[in-house]
């Protein structure tokens, strides 16, 4: 009973929102790239790279703004490089993504050692944390204030980005073009859309999203970089994108579910009765279960429609 109360507490819901932040960014990154028809699994590596870069840059410049901008920029550059390689060299995007991730996981350790002489964590750097923001008025409201106020600036930015992504994809001509390229590249080309340019733009945005997600890892989630700290969150973003039907709103909802799984796993670990290793599996197992369930429901829906004679 006590455990149950712990999960329903305001502090717990606060931590759900906090832990959802990197997953939202990863999901948005996956959404815009898959909307333009590119499978981008380099999210994981992009996040890891910018997690390190923002720790280093915030330590060197002592400026949070600088660190965040550079994270978005570096993420975008990797996104651009990714589309350059897959589009110009015609490389398989999945294997290219895996290679990017390999490079990131080795390269970050290499760079970390160059800057700190340590291969585990960047604690010796005097890096900064992105500020937490108290929202006036809202913070006065008893429970709601505790849950929604005093979050990291990146957390608020993540939610704003969901909104912006919706507007971009469904209310602008660029969004229409992105979706057209993703639906049918040849058809889009035939009506004069410069498909390569659209893909590059999408991947730059996708990279920037991952970049901000990575920045949160070392400037919000923790206040330093540690090796392989992204721990599959980029991949979970892919799952959230698929489960949310590629829509920013659906993706946000699914991200919150994963944030919940993450928070649950963190909270349960403080209780000794269940082995920590089993609890740490929760986010990964719930991804598998959730993805399986949603795919099954979608498939059944399509089958039912076919049975009733309505084709989509």
Partner 1 sequence: MNKDSKFEILRLASAILISIFITFIVIFFVSEEPLRAIEKLMVGPLQSVRTFGNVIELMTPLMFTGTGMLILFSTKAFNLSADGAFHLGGLAAAVVAIKAILPMGIHPLVAILFAGVVGALIALIPLLIKYKTGANEFVVSLMLNYVCVLFASFLVLYFFKDVSQGTFASLPFQKTVSLGTLFPGTRIHAGFLVAILVVILAELILNRTTIGYKIRITGDNGAYAKYAGFNTLKIILISQIIGGFICGIGGGIEVLGMYSRFTWQKSMDFGWDGVIISILAKNRPKYIPIAAFFLAYLRMGAYVMATATDVQNEIIYVAQGIIIILIIGEKFLGKVRENMLYKAAKTKLEEEAV
Is 296 one of the binding residues for partner 1 (CB under 8 A)?
yes
Choosing from 9, 91, 123, 132, the residue that interacts with partner 1 (CB under 8 A) is: 91
Choosing from 102, 124, 126, 184, the residue that interacts with partner 1 (CB under 8 A) is: 102
For residues 262 and 22, what is the distance between their CA atoms, to the nearest angstrom? Answer: 11
- Phi, psi of 226, rounded to the nearest 5 degrees: -130, 155
Is 109 one of the binding residues for partner 1 (CB under 8 A)?
yes
User: Between residues 11 and 293, which has the closer beta carbon with respect to partner 1?
Assistant: 293
Contacts by 112-119, CB closer than 8 A, 24 or more apart: 112/52, 112/225, 112/227, 115/56, 119/227
Choosing from 1, 8, 89, 307, the residue that interacts with partner 1 (CB under 8 A) is: 89
Choosing from 95, 141, 143, 144, the residue that interacts with partner 1 (CB under 8 A) is: 95
The DSSP code sequence of 23-75 is HHHHHHHHHHHHHTT----THHHHHHHHHHHHHHHHHHH--HHHHHHHHHHHH
Is 119 one of the binding residues for partner 1 (CB under 8 A)?
yes
Is 246 one of the binding residues for partner 1 (CB under 8 A)?
no
- Nearest CA-CA partner of 43 in 78, 7, 9, 14: 78
User: Between residues 8 and 312, which has the closer beta carbon with respect to partner 1?
Assistant: 312
Cα–Cα separations (whole angstroms), residue 259 to 9, 42, 253? 15, 21, 10
Tokens standing for residue 91: 């490389």
For residues 13 and 265, what is the distance between their CA atoms, to the nearest angstrom? Answer: 13
Shortest Cβ distance from residue 104 to partner 1 (Å)?
A: 8
For residues 26 and 41, what is the distance between their CA atoms, to the nearest angstrom? Answer: 10
User: Between residues 271 and 292, which has the closer beta carbon with respect to partner 1?
Assistant: 292
- Phi, psi of 132, rounded to the nearest 5 degrees: -95, 145
Choosing from 98, 133, 153, 256, the residue that interacts with partner 1 (CB under 8 A) is: 98
User: Between residues 99 and 223, which has the closer beta carbon with respect to partner 1?
Assistant: 99
Is 103 one of the binding residues for partner 1 (CB under 8 A)?
yes
**Piece in contact with partner 1 (CB under 8 A), picked from 8-16, 110-118, 160-168, 198-206:** 110-118
Is 166 one of the binding residues for partner 1 (CB under 8 A)?
no
Is 176 one of the binding residues for partner 1 (CB under 8 A)?
no
| Cβ atoms within 10 Å, residue 281 | 14
Choosing from 105, 132, 223, 269, the residue that interacts with partner 1 (CB under 8 A) is: 105
**Piece in contact with partner 1 (CB under 8 A), picked from 106-114, 182-190, 202-210, 245-253:** 106-114
Helices 195-216 and 64-88 sit at what angle, rounded to 10 degrees?
Answer: 140
Is 298 one of the binding residues for partner 1 (CB under 8 A)?
yes
Is 100 one of the binding residues for partner 1 (CB under 8 A)?
yes
Binding mask 274-293 for partner 1 (x = CB under 8 A): -x-xx-xx--xx-xx--xxx
Q: Where are the alpha helices (DSSP H) in the chain?
A: 2-8, 10-35, 43-61, 64-88, 93-116, 142-148, 153-171, 173-183, 185-190, 195-216, 233-243, 248-269, 276-280, 282-307
Choosing from 85, 121, 133, 153, the residue that interacts with partner 1 (CB under 8 A) is: 85
Residues that bind partner 1 (CB under 8 A): 41, 85, 88-92, 94-96, 98-100, 102-103, 105-107, 109-110, 113-114, 119, 231-232, 235-236, 238-239, 242, 275, 277-278, 280-281, 284-285, 287-288, 291-296, 298-299
């Amino acid at each position: 009973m006590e455990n149950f109360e712990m999960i329903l507490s305001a502090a717990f819901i606060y931590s759900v929102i906090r832990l959802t932040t990197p997953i939202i960014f990863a999901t948005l990154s996956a959404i815009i790239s898959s909307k333009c028809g590119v499978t981008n699994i380099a999210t994981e590596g992009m996040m890891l790279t910018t997690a390190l870069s923002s720790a280093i840059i915030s330590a060197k410049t002592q400026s949070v703004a600088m660190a965040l901008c550079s994270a978005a920029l570096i993420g975008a550059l990797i996104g651009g490089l990714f589309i350059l390689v897959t589009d110009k060299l015609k490389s398989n995007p999945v294997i290219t993504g895996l290679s990017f991730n390999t490079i990131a996981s080795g390269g970050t350790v290499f760079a970390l050692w160059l800057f700190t002489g340590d291969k585990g964590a960047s604690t010796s750097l005097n890096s900064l944390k992105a500020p937490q923001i108290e929202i006036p008025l809202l913070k006065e409201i008893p429970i709601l204030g505790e849950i929604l106020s005093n979050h990291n600036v990146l957390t608020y930015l993540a939610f704003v980005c969901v909104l912006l992504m919706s507007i971009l994809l469904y209310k602008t001509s660029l969004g229409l073009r992105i979706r057209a390229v993703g639906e049918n590249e040849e058809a889009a080309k035939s009506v004069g859309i410069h498909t390569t340019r659209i893909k590059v733009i999408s991947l730059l945005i996708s990279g920037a999203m991952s970049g901000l997600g990575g920045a949160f890892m070392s400037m919000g989630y923790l206040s330093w970089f540690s090796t392989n700290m992204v721990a599959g969150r980029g991949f979970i973003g892919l799952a959230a994108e698929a489960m949310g039907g590629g829509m920013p709103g659906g993706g946000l909802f699914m991200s919150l579910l994963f944030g919940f799984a993450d928070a649950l796993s963190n909270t349960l670990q403080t209780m000794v009765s269940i082995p920590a290793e089993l609890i740490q599996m929760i986010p990964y197992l719930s991804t598998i279960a959730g993805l399986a369930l949603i795919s099954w429901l979608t498939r059944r829906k399509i089958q039912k429609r076919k049975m009733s004679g309505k084709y989509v």
